Amino acid sequence: MLLTTLLAESIKSGKITVSQNNTEALEITAQHKKIDVNAKDKEFIKDIISSTNKNDKPQKGVISTLERSVSGLRTVQNMQPMVKEIAEDLKREGITVTLSFKGDKVVTMGSEADSKFTRFLLGTKGVQINSVKKLVELGL
């Protein structure tokens, strides 16, 4: 059992709100082996993502956009084994984690996820992209 699954197992029910600068950024709700992380502020999510990027220089133009896209694909490829392992562990333990944006489901991981597209892309049935549009809007 992975640490992520252990944490999900230990959270029975409840609600946590994370705020940044007096603005609600995330709302995390847990109930009966289901955890929903509802992003309310996409700038907060973008800040988290940009803090993990090595190159924080502002970039403009077509070439830099393509370079960032290729870099993003490499990051996804490098993260694939970890995402797959977490998703499979959640699925095995009967836990579902969803990422939502302003109440709309974006990604589902775990027992309720099932997607032929992500099965092909990531090699697991444990991840489902519910809204590509919202995924892009969040910058994920």
pLDDT tens-digit series, residues 48-78 = 766 655 554 555 565 665 565 555 555 555 6
Distances (CA, A) of 54 to 42, 57, 59, 96, 106: 20, 9, 13, 31, 26
What's the average model confidence in pLDDT over 100-120? Answer: 86
Cβ–Cβ < 8 Å for 54, 42 = no
Q: What is the pLDDT of residue 108?
A: 93
Structural Rg of the chain based on CA atoms = 16
Q: What is the pLDDT of residue 105?
A: 93
Distances (CA, A) of 135 to 5, 94, 105, 110: 23, 24, 9, 18
Q: Which position has the higher pLDDT, 50 or 107?
A: 107
Q: Is the pLDDT of residue 45 over 80?
A: no
Q: pLDDT averaged over the chain? A: 78
Q: Is the pLDDT of residue 106 over 60?
A: yes
Distances (CA, A) of 140 to 47, 49, 64, 107, 108: 12, 8, 18, 10, 14
Q: What is the pTM of this model?
A: 0.72
The domain ranges of the chain are: 3-138
